[in-house]
A and B are shown apart, each in its own frame.
Chain A
Amino acid sequence: MLSSYAQQPSFKNFKSNTSPYLQFNDVVIFQNNVLFITNEGLFKFEKEAIVQVLQKENLSKFIVVNKQLFIWSIFGEIYEFKNKKLHTFPFNTLLSKRLENSIINTMIYSDSSFYISTIVGSQVIQVDLRTETIKTLTQFRQNPYFITQFGKKLITGTNQNTTKNELAIYLTETPFFIPLADENSNSKSNIIQLKDNTYLFTKQHEVIRFNSSSLINRIFSEKNIEAIHQDRENKIWCALNNGGIIVYADGNLKESNSTRYLGNQTVISIAEDTLGNLWFGTSGNGVYLLEKNEIESVNSNTINYKTPHIFSNTNTENEKIQSKFIIKNLPLIKEDASFAAVSSPSRIISIKESFPDSISPIVFVNSIKINGIDTTTLSHYELSYQFNSIELTISGVNSNKSDLQYKYILEGKDVNWTYSVSTSVYYASLQPGYYTFKVFAMNDSGIWSRTPAIVTFNISQPFYASIWFILSGILLLIVLLFIVLFFINKQNQQKNKLLEEQKQKILFSELQVLRNQMNPHFIFNTLNSIQSFITNNESKDAVIYLSKFAKLMRATLANTKRQKISLKDEIDTLRLYLELEQLRLNNKFSYEIIVDDKIDIHYEQVPSMLIQPYVENAIWHGISTLEGKGIIRVQFLLEKENLLKCIIEDNGIGREQAMKTKKSTSTSFGMSITKERIEILNSLEGSNLTIKVHDLTKNNKPAGTRIELFLPI
């Protein structure tokens, strides 16, 4: 759970008007333009808006080479972007044959060659532009790779997907190894060089910082990491999957140094422009811009979001550090290249020499409290049934001073190991029985203690668990059960009858909703407006509005078949409806629909067509007789974790005035149906849909109406 947030610097959010739910795979600043790669093609930032430059699927990332901009797709095609067009790279046909079964992880340019590394169907491919040849540098089965370049050094990685994953660093003559907690081999990885000449490697949850000879520290992020970036003030920004962004004040990756922003959004790309502004591309929520002066306010943050450690439970008690490995399958190393590889036990190296923290930590149980009272620490406890709340404090001894992480289990209660950094473990209200508590500790380098600390507990049965007591209890229960069953049966018959009636009611209310949506008044007046385009020879507009009308009819038919639809579908339908009403009323009003960033509109579901009658009411009773221009605003906010708040606001004549000037009863008919439907939904699903109506005033005069709908999700 998010506990606290620092004072937020203000992020500006931009979305494409034509495709608001784009996925922004990459951002680049090129010739003073901000360009984006999205799932629908290339977009750019222009006049405070995100606009499409060209359409193309599967594009992945940018590379800038000698002031030229290249783009590669996830299947390995390379294009040059010039004069607003993509120019196909002459090698693409050959490349696509080579990369047939692959998904690209990274691509770099170095010394007249493109190097491509893949995570699925792993290979590193060199496209040498000088000799015009394509070469596969290394190839293993199922080994994911990364490739990157620091200065003149080319670095590749492989993950042999054997029993143990390690990061092998070949930055000096003596390589060294860092064990990885993560065993998923098909995940993408990132690596960057920091300004203090250390390196950051990320894969899924894991972030590892190292220099050319040793590991510096390692942390586990709460969410998967999609991208990392170090800005000009040395702050480190991590884009998280489903977790916004996390920023560390410097290379020192400590939780106490970090702050989180952008809630639970999925951020995939980061870029910094020449002015020092930062750009963040999200999946489905547009692009965020954090301006330079706002970034400075990030510095002064003192409140921190605590990131819980996530551990992979791949380590077992049996794992040991192997001191010797056998040479096999050495990856091809170019003369001028140095490799950092994630590899299997495949080379001879004495870990102890190059790996200072390879000594197992020692773990023990420090103190034990029973029912809140300190005890002398023993290795076995005999306890009476009422002494059943146990609190253990654990600690460990380590060869260096790095933080320890623990895994523990209470055999007799837990099925799985619990992974934690906390040194306190608490078990409340344990049932009588025999329990064994075991705990291991792990150091920064991922090495577990050889033996666990063990404490056992025997909690005895209380007197009422004795046999005679149980037997007489059972007898009494059976008698009671018969009585209860008799009554339940009787009640059920009544309930079933009620349920049948409610089902009928639901069917009827759905039919009414449909009739209300397909309201003849709306249909024929809209058709009339379209006809006026035809008679005035504005056939283009006629075609556009006719298509909208057809889309609305189709959506309405589809939506009535379902009790609940995604919020996105509801908003799309609402938008079509509003556009057609604008046409009917000759643009008498403008509208906006605002959705809280924290809401995942694809995932959240709402009862279909519940909001439209309120909007209709706002238009016809609030706006239609208003002098001057009307404004309708529909907002979706996340009120609580599981409560959506929908606000429908107009600047119309207000309820009182509307009652006086009411022309027909058709719309109030719609409102009463909706009210009835809300009652049925509440009684059937036990949910708690509520409505609040506010009369807005300005200078003591009515200035519109605000409806607030609370929708449990």
Chain B
Amino acid sequence: MFKAIIVDDEKGGRDNLEALLKSFPNISIIAKAGNIKEAQKALEIDKPDVLFLDIEMPGGNGFDLLEKLGNIDFDVIFTTAYDHYAIKAIKYSALDYLLKPIDPTDLETAIKRFTNKLKDQPLTNTKLKTLFNNVSTESANQKIIIHDGEGLNFIRIKDIIRFHSEGSYTDIYIVGNQKPIFISRPINEYEDLLSNEAFYRIHRSHFINLQHVKKYVKGDGGYVIMSDNSKVEVARRKRNEFIQILSSSTF
């Protein structure tokens, strides 16, 4: 049996999640809180296994609560209706979140993920630390967490030079690293994740950071030379759009 606490400033939000959680017999709700203060009190009385935490609340948001608590020894699933900036920061930090109104299948996936994984609190704490960094700094200094065979990598977005996919695998080239990080995920996932940053898909296999482009050499599609002197091909079809983006250079 897993113990859960729900934090949401709106009663409707708390009741709705409680009702949806009734279909999961292995989750029991030990407390519901309407603001940070109530949440802190509830956490003093009994420690949960998982905290469902709304982000936007009057009198201090969800991140403030976690920062106040310091060391976290439970899992956190964020809930929010619409806050693009916060969701981006959470995604980068590889933490879990649910969008309101809550889709029952999304909820089921999140709970499966939480119950399946071994309790790994140091991991949650590092992820949260990255999240706090991401919400407090400007976009370019934000970090993303990338899981590869060797563990977690904390990478500053502006240090990513490019992604190179070989079908089902992706190599990520980083400033200062001789060898790329090798991931068993397709390139699209990173394209979605970084869609708001200065990145551009110039080729079926190449997704590059525009800030690391040193030179564009014209040709059929042409190619770019990146800051690490690597040569990356531009697809013929992408050429015009790419040149347009390069010349507008608002990134």
Residues in chain B near residue A603, CB distance under 8 A: 188, 201, 204
Q: Which chain B residues (165-206) contact chain A, with CB distance < 8 Å?
A: 166-168, 182, 184-186, 188, 191, 201, 204
Report Cα–Cα, A55/B237, bound state, in Å. 38
Report Cα–Cα, A551/B151, bound state, in Å. 33
- Is the beta-carbon distance between A550 and B204 smaller than 8 angstroms? no
- Is the beta-carbon distance between A547 and B102 smaller than 8 angstroms? yes
- Is the beta-carbon distance between B99 and A602 smaller than 8 angstroms? no
B150 proximal to A (CB < 8 A): yes
B104 proximal to A (CB < 8 A): yes
Min CB distance B169 to A, Å, is 9
Nearest residue, chain A, Cβ from B81:
A550
- Is the beta-carbon distance between B167 and A101 smaller than 8 angstroms? no
Report Cα–Cα, A39/B185, bound state, in Å. 8
With A58-B184, A283-B186 as contacts: A551 and B167 at CB distance below 8 Å? no
Task: Say which residue of B150, B167, B184, B191 sits within 8 Å of A241 (CB atoms).
Answer: B167
Q: Which chain B residues (84-119) contact chain A, with CB distance < 8 Å?
A: 99-106, 112
B82 proximal to A (CB < 8 A): yes
B25 proximal to A (CB < 8 A): no
A6 proximal to B (CB < 8 A): no
A266 proximal to B (CB < 8 A): yes
Residues in chain A near residue B100, CB distance under 8 A: 550
Nearest residue, chain B, Cβ from A642:
B237
- Is the beta-carbon distance between A543 and B104 smaller than 8 angstroms? yes
- Is the beta-carbon distance between A103 and B149 smaller than 8 angstroms? yes
Min CB distance A79 to B, Å, is 13
A126 proximal to B (CB < 8 A): no
- Is the beta-carbon distance between B103 and A120 smaller than 8 angstroms? no
Residues in chain B near residue A99, CB distance under 8 A: 149
Report Cα–Cα, A713/B235, bound state, in Å. 12
Report Cα–Cα, A103/B151, bound state, in Å. 11
Report Cα–Cα, A25/B186, bound state, in Å. 13
Residues in chain B near residue A602, CB distance under 8 A: 186, 188, 191
Interface size classification for chain B: 20 to 34
Residues in chain B near residue A642, CB distance under 8 A: 237
Task: Say which residue of A39, A242, A547 sits within 8 Å of B204 (CB atoms).
Answer: A242
Nearest residue, chain A, Cβ from B100:
A550
Min CB distance A238 to B, Å, is 14
Residues in chain A near residue B99, CB distance under 8 A: 550, 554
Report Cα–Cα, A670/B54, bound state, in Å. 38
Report Cα–Cα, A101/B204, bound state, in Å. 29
A226 proximal to B (CB < 8 A): yes
Nearest residue, chain B, Cβ from A264:
B204
Report Cα–Cα, A543/B166, bound state, in Å. 40
**Majority secondary structure of chain A interface residues (helix, strand, loop or mixed):** loop
Residues in chain A near residue B237, CB distance under 8 A: 642, 713
Residues in chain A near residue B182, CB distance under 8 A: 103, 120, 186
Residues in chain B near residue A546, CB distance under 8 A: 101
Task: Say which residue of B82, B149, B167, B201 sits within 8 Å of A266 (CB atoms).
Answer: B167
Residues in chain A near residue B151, CB distance under 8 A: 100
Nearest residue, chain A, Cβ from B105:
A547
- Is the beta-carbon distance between A224 and B204 smaller than 8 angstroms? no
Residues in chain B near residue A137, CB distance under 8 A: none
Task: Say which residue of A25, A55, A100 sits within 8 Å of B112 (CB atoms).
Answer: A55
Report Cα–Cα, A226/B167, bound state, in Å. 9
Min CB distance B145 to A, Å, is 15
Min CB distance A341 to B, Å, is 22
With A224-B167, A226-B167 as contacts: A100 and B104 at CB distance below 8 Å? no
A255 proximal to B (CB < 8 A): no
- Is the beta-carbon distance between A283 and B167 smaller than 8 angstroms? yes
Residues in chain B near residue A187, CB distance under 8 A: 166
Nearest residue, chain A, Cβ from B237:
A642
- Chain B 20-41 interface 0/1 with A at a Cβ cutoff of 8 Å (1 = within): 1000000000000000000000
- Is the beta-carbon distance between B188 and A283 smaller than 8 angstroms? no
Report Cα–Cα, A560/B186, bound state, in Å. 26
Residues in chain A near residue B103, CB distance under 8 A: 547, 550-551
Residues in chain A near residue B20, CB distance under 8 A: 543
- Is the beta-carbon distance between A23 and B149 smaller than 8 angstroms? no
Q: Which chain A residues (226-279) contact chain B, with CB distance < 8 Å?
A: 226, 241-242, 266, 268
- Is the beta-carbon distance between A600 and B204 smaller than 8 angstroms? yes
Report Cα–Cα, A268/B186, bound state, in Å. 13
Residues in chain A near residue B188, CB distance under 8 A: 566, 602-603
Residues of A within 8 A of B (CB): 23, 25, 39, 55, 58, 74-75, 99-103, 120-121, 186-187, 224, 226, 241-242, 266, 268, 283-284, 543-544, 546-547, 550-551, 554, 566, 600, 602-603, 642, 713
User: 21 A-B residue contacts at CB 8 Å?
Assistant: A23-B168, A25-B168, A39-B184, A55-B112, A58-B184, A74-B149, A101-B149, A103-B149, A120-B149, A121-B149, A186-B182, A224-B166, A224-B167, A268-B167, A544-B104, A546-B101, A547-B104, A547-B106, A550-B100, A602-B186, A603-B188
Knowing that A100-B151, A547-B105, A551-B103 are A-B contacts, what are 8 other residue pairs whose CB atoms are under 8 Å apart, sorted by A's residue number? A23-B186, A39-B184, A55-B112, A100-B150, A120-B149, A268-B167, A284-B186, A600-B204
| Those 5 A-B pairs whose CB atoms lie nearest each other, nearest first | A547-B103, A241-B167, A602-B188, A266-B167, A103-B149
